């Protein structure tokens, strides 16, 4: 089912009981965030706020806040069907005579939906603001978190054309409102928008930019998808394929760019590559931490076009799980067939919410030879945006990659620390606050597959000796209640599957390492294989909180050590006194006063009590 626009999708959600309307006045500063955060974490409905203070436009949020709603948005019954849809498209028959070729016709028709369709008139151009009429303050743009540098457009579809080739690109880059007609443009160093801006600078010209707000759910998803750099394959093409019909586009009013005809708003303008960059941020990001202020280009808005009665779509990011987790899962399913074409032994893969996309990838393989887990992991590091992955765990084909309890048990049972763990380095997401350098840091591979004889024993073992070392693989986890003390330890516990979790109030250089060495030599370490050292804000009884903190706060090459058969992960904060020169960001926490106000008004909003 193809949705012509956001408003049609909102109507369907409301008919299905998956959207509620709130007519009570709400604040775009923090209040909407607190409501939306509670709802998405509880699997609750989307919300249409009809009365946002300071704006005449309603705001909808949480449209893609469950796996089921994302599947509905993309026209499939289940997200797993996306993999089948792509596999069917790329599996064209090349034999069987005329009848064999005729069997390709349905797939060819699907492929014909890839190019967008130019139209002459569009709903999104029914109202036009130009020049002094432009005032971004009239839109219900949210300030999401207490320490944010200002209001941010959180669901922008940013459109540019390559100044040299004309190839179009659409990406989702947050935009901080700087004035009534300017915003920051968060083009990170690896993003296509940055390359377009660099090319415009070489040609001595401004880069035209159009920002769509709205469109339809398939296009919003497509703007987040990690598309490979294939000529002619862009976000409009992907959305057209998912919709099953060519995507309608219209030429901008003041820019020579094609924009989605079915959007709610379009911001038209330019970025001048010769203009000084501006400070953007902080921003409560998808990592669950604040991204600290940095310098980014300035986007000048010269016109705003819109429908006569538009709805402003928004999202929030922050501590997982959030709405973006389901978009990430859609990309997993969509690109699984492509990964399997390159690495055919892959059975499945998953990027769990605790890993906030790039910090953790779990992949299951059909193993046929020794070393295959490392072959697959290193292959994944070379695939597009998978280059940003920090930790890759490889498991056997029978393990469900989205069952994290099962995955972590496999890790303790089948991965001997040191022998079956390997660190390296490479590109890292620039939003990673713990890496050794900006966009550059350590990586970790954990081979939790069943071992072949050649994989047993130390690296110096001969082939004959390796097969005799299976006894080293036998691990019987035990959880001790009587645990040692150490300076700064606030709480700790051991799990039944071989993990020792510690919350540490770290105040001096080397404190984590000394703790790890002391605990590794203690008898209580006999029944564990992993020591997880977290910061002082981590709840050791919440395993999701533990792994989210660990994965955010480590550079594996620097912070993961093997000590006498124990793998220690230093997820405590890093200090200037130990050589970490960047500022350590705070975790995102909502103001208590806002939480209390939402508590008091929940029944007034008319929101369901079950998800309060």
Residue with tokens 């920090």: 390
The whole-angstrom separation of Cα 319 and Cα 322 is: 7
The whole-angstrom separation of Cα 533 and Cα 382 is: 30
Continuous segment of H or E residues that includes residue 593: helix 592-605
Beta carbons of 170 and 226 less than 8 angstroms apart: no
Number of helices and strands (H, E) in the chain?
17, 30
β-pair partners for 183: 177, 299
Classify the phi-psi angles of 367: left when phi > 0, otherwise alpha if psi is within -120 to 50, otherwise beta: beta
3 state SS of 289: strand
Please state, as a whole number, how many other Cβ atoms lie within 10 Å of the Cβ of residue 401.
21
Beta carbons of 474 and 225 less than 8 angstroms apart: no
3 state SS of 588: coil
Beta carbons of 67 and 14 less than 8 angstroms apart: no
Q: Which residues are known catalytic residues?
A: 285
3 state SS of 99: helix
The whole-angstrom separation of Cα 56 and Cα 137 is: 11
Continuous segment of H or E residues that includes residue 526: none
Buried b (16+ CB within 10 A) or exposed e, 292-317: bebebbbbbbbbbbbbeebbbbbbbb
Residue 584: both structure tokens together: 């350590």
- CA of 50: how far to CAs of 19, 23, 220, in Å? 13, 5, 22
Residue 115: both structure tokens together: 């190019």
Show contacts of 10-18: CB within 8 Å, 24+ apart. 10/46, 10/48, 10/60, 10/63, 10/311, 12/72, 13/45, 13/46, 13/63, 13/69, 14/48, 17/45, 18/45, 18/46, 18/66, 18/69
Burial of 391 per CB tally in 10 Å (0-12, 13-18, 19+) = buried
């Amino acid at each position: 089912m193809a949705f012509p626009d956001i408003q049609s999708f909102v109507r369907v959600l409301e008919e299905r009981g998956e959207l509620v309307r709130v007519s009570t006045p709400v604040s775009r500063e923090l209040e909407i965030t607190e409501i939306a955060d509670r709802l998405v974490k509880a699997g609750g409905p989307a919300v249409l706020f009809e009365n946002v203070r300071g704006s005449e436009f309603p705001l909808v949020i949480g449209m893609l806040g469950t796996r089921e709603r994302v599947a509905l948005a993309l026209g499939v019954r289940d997200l797993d069907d996306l993999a089948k849809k792509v596999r069917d498209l790329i599996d064209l028959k090349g034999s069987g005579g005329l009848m064999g070729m005729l069997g390709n016709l349905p797939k060819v028709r699907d492929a014909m939906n890839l190019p967008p369709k130019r139209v002459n008139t569009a709903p999104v151009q029914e109202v036009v603001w130009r020049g002094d009429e432009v005032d971004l303050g009239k839109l219900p743009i949210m300030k999401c978190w207490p320490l944010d540098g200002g209001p941010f457009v959180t669901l922008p579809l940013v459109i540019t054309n390559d100044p040299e080739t004309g190839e179009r690109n659409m990406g989702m880059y947050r935009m901080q409102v700087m004035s009534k007609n300017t915003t920051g443009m968060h083009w990170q160093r690896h993003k296509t928008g940055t390359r377009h801006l660099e090319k415009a600078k070489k040609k001595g010209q401004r880069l035209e930019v159009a920002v769509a707000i709205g469109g339809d759910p398939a296009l919003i998803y497509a703007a987040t998808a990690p598309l490979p750099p294939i000529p002619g394959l862009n976000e409009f093409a992907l959305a057209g394929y998912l919709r099953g019909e060519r995507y309608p586009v219209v030429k901008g009013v003041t820019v020579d760019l094609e924009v989605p005809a079915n959007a709610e708003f379009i911001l038209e303008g330019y970025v001048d590559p010769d203009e000084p960059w501006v400070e953007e941020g902080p921003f409560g990001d998808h990592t669950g931490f604040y991204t600290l202020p940095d310098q980014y280009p300035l986007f000048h808005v010269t016109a705003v076009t819109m429908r006569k009665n538009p709805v402003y779509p928004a999202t929030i990011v922050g501590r997982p799980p959030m709405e973006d987790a389901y978009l990430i899962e859609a990309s997993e399913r969509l690109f699984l067939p492509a990964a399997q074409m390159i690495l055919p032994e892959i059975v499945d893969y998953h990027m769990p919410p605790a890993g906030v996309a790039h910090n953790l990838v779990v992949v299951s393989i059909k193993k046929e030879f020794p070393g295959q887990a490392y072959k697959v992991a290193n292959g994944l590091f070379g695939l597009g945006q998978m280059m940003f992955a920090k930790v890759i765990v490889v498991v056997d084909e029978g393990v469900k990659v989205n069952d994290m309890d099962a995955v972590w048990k496999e890790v303790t049972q089948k991965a001997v620390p040191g022998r079956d763990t390997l660190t390296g380095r490479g590109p890292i997401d620039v939003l990673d606050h713990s890496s050794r350098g900006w966009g550059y840091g350590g990586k970790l591979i954990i081979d939790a597959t069943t071992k072949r004889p050649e994989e047993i024993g130390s690296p110096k073992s001969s082939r004959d000796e390796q097969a005799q070392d299976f006894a080293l693989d036998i691990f019987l986890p035990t959880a001790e209640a009587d645990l040692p003390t150490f300076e700064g330890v606030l709480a700790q516990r051991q799990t039944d599957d071989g993990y020792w979790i510690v919350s540490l109030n770290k105040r001096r250089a080397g404190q984590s390492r000394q703790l790890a060495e002391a605990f590794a030599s203690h008898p209580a370490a006999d029944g564990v294989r992993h020591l997880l050292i977290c910061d002082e804000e981590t709840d050791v009884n919440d395993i999701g909180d533990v792994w989210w903190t660990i994965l955010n706060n480590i550079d594996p090459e620097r912070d993961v050590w093997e000590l006498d058969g124990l793998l220690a992960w230093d997820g405590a904060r890093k200090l200037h006194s130990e050589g970490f020169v960047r500022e350590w960001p705070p975790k995102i926490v909502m103001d208590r006063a806002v939480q209390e106000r939402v508590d008091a008004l929940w029944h007034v909003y008319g929101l369901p009590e079950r998800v309060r």
